[in-house]
Amino acid sequence: MTDILLAHSFFLRFDPKQWRTMQPYAPLGTLYAAAYLREHGYETALFDSMLANGATDILPLLEKYQPRLVVFYEDSFNWLSKMCLTRMREACFEMIRLVKKHDQNVPVIVAGSDPTDHQQMYFARGADFAIIGEGEISLHELVDTLIGKSGKNPAEISGVAFPPNGGVQRTAPRGFQKNLDVFPFPAWDLLEAEKYRTAWRHKHGYYSVNLVTTRGCPFRCNWCAKPIYGDRYNSRSPENVVQEMVWLRRLFQPDHLWFADDIFGLKPGWVEKFGEAVQAAQAVTPFKIQARVDLLHEEAVAGLKKAGCKTVWVGAESGSQKILDAMDKGTKVEQIYAAAERLRRHGIEVCFFLQFGYSGETDEDIEKTIKMVRDCRPDDIGISVSYPLPGTRFYERVKNELGGKQNWEHSDDLDLMFRGQYQPEFYRQLHRVVHHEFRLHKAASLFSDFWRHPSQFTLSNLRRMISAVGRLPLLHLERARLNRLRVPNRLIA
């Protein structure tokens, strides 16, 4: 019998877009919880749903390990888990049902953004406890109580919720661990890492693994849900992060790293020290990050380059200052332009996250965003529409306009769930048009490079050029369809 079976409910297979993209990353939050419990003497096992077929894949592990407790600990470092996609929620409900069917007496604990926002839904499906806030310490104390190592009552443990008499009782909030270096490295040995390596190499020709340097984000974009950390953040030391990089290189020999922080390099001077520490440890490995344009000053970008940074994704969101201000983004359009130029000058790829459909956005604002993409020539773009999640100021602003659908089913759903300027299908079509135009501009840049340096051109680039040119007639058709859909909501009966 194993003390604890940990699991999470992000099935890559259940998200068509992510399954096609095939970039599986380890469930770091789950592995951190496993490592912390093991450090305190508990035998743990893992059901990793990332590459699994479905909920019933948990059954063999229930038979094999006969766990005393089952914990569905969602990966709070996976931005898709924080989106609370309904397909993953339903998978968790089904796994809870299977656990209870296997053994009604096994306590089930849930932790993550969605259980934090919707505890009653999870309790109604059979969960016995929910962890609220930063989870490792609360989970450890709750496990101590349930397994009998502690004389505490669950009501005495901070950061826990449970359902007495069909309601919800929440205990006092737990504080946050400020020194993140005290946490052990994630329990990577529980993961079937070779499956990840195979998937990456087959699809992309290289192997990428993930790690994090911070927890939380202090910025207050009013559409960003932060049910676990709120506006707090804490950071690991550069030296501790580099130790993990060296450790991961020894274990897995990755070709690439993904720092899954909400925002990388939050602490002043941290990136510069990190670059020096990486070089001193001879641990330079190409990596990608998410960052804010107002943090990418000259010294920070030089530090990123020194550390081996290959790609920076920034939340550009909009080319309209009016929309950025409405979002409480705290950045300026000119800072987006400056950051793109600075990163490119240092030889680092720059990619934009864009968001359409925010309240008050007009055709003029949309065109400003498209112009920004043309002007800044990012290496890649990711497009979404505004997504109201509970606990955000944006949700409060539009909640009276929401219908029955309150969450996306998967990451490519892109349903505008409140009453925007246009109907949801307009924004789906806008997504297609902007992507088509972006690829055509990329092809034009490739052609220019070919003209200047024909000897350096690759067969892969030639294929991309041919593919993009073939899209030109399609782009005209897509634009015509977009114009037909450009009917303001107020004109629709």
Distance from C-alpha of 151 to C-alpha of 221, rounded to nearest angstrom: 42
- Rounded to two decimals, the pTM is 0.93
**Do 241 and 377 belong to one domain?**
yes
Are 442 and 392 part of one and the same domain? no
Give the H/E segment covering residue 161.
strand 160-162
Domain boundary residue, one of 145, 170, 195: 170
Q: Answer yes or no: do 357 and 394 share one domain.
A: yes
Same domain, 143 and 194: no
Q: Is residue 426 part of a domain?
A: yes
The 3-class SS string of 433-449 reads HHHHHHHHHHHHHHHHH
Same domain as 272, residue 138? no
Q: Which of 115, 146, 170 is the last residue of a domain?
A: 170
Q: What CATH number is given to the structural domain containing 48?
A: 3.40.50.2300
Tell me the C-alpha distance between 286 and 305, whole Å.
10
175 lies in some domain:
no
Q: Is residue 118 part of a domain?
A: yes
Listed in sequence order, the residues at least 6 apart from 194 whose beta carbon sits closer than 8 Å to its beta carbon are none
Residues spanned by the domain of 220: 180-420
> 374 and 485 share a domain?
no
- Cβ contacts of 460 within 8 Å, gap of 6 or more: none
Q: Report yes or no on 202 lying in a domain.
A: yes
- The CATH number given to whatever domain includes residue 412 is 3.20.20.70
**In 108-154, where does DSSP find H-type helix?**
113-117, 119-124, 136-147
Query: In tens digits, what is the pLDDT along the chain, a chain of 493 residues?
Result: 899 999 999 999 999 999 999 999 999 999 999 999 999 999 999 999 999 999 999 999 999 999 999 999 999 999 888 888 999 999 999 999 999 999 999 999 999 999 999 999 999 999 999 999 999 999 999 999 999 777 789 999 999 999 988 789 999 999 999 999 999 999 999 999 999 999 999 999 999 999 999 999 999 999 998 889 988 999 999 999 999 999 999 999 999 999 999 999 999 999 999 999 999 999 999 999 999 999 999 999 999 999 999 999 999 999 999 999 999 999 999 999 999 999 999 999 999 999 999 999 999 999 999 999 999 999 999 999 999 988 899 999 999 988 888 899 999 988 999 988 999 999 999 999 999 889 888 876 665 555 666 666 666 665 666 666 666 778 888 999 999 999 998 655 4
170, 200, 223 - which closes a domain: 170
User: Is 262 in the same domain as 403?
Assistant: yes
293 within domain boundaries: yes
Residue 101 lies in a domain: yes
153 and 192 assigned to the same domain: no
Q: What angle do CA 336, 342, 348 make, to 5 degrees?
A: 105
61 is a domain residue: yes
- How many degrees, rounded to 5, is the angle at CA 462 between CA 458 and CA 467? 145
- Strands (E) in 26-86, as ranges, are 44-47, 69-73
Pair 236, 289 in one domain: yes
Of 482, 486, 386, which is closest to residue 434 (Cα–Cα)? 482
The tally of domains found in the chain comes to: 3
CA 484 to chain centre: 34
Tell whether 329 and 465 lie within a shared domain: no
Three-state secondary-structure class, residue 109:
strand
Do residues 126 and 234 share a domain?
A: no
Cβ atoms 289, 304 nearer than 8 A: yes
Same domain, 314 and 395: yes
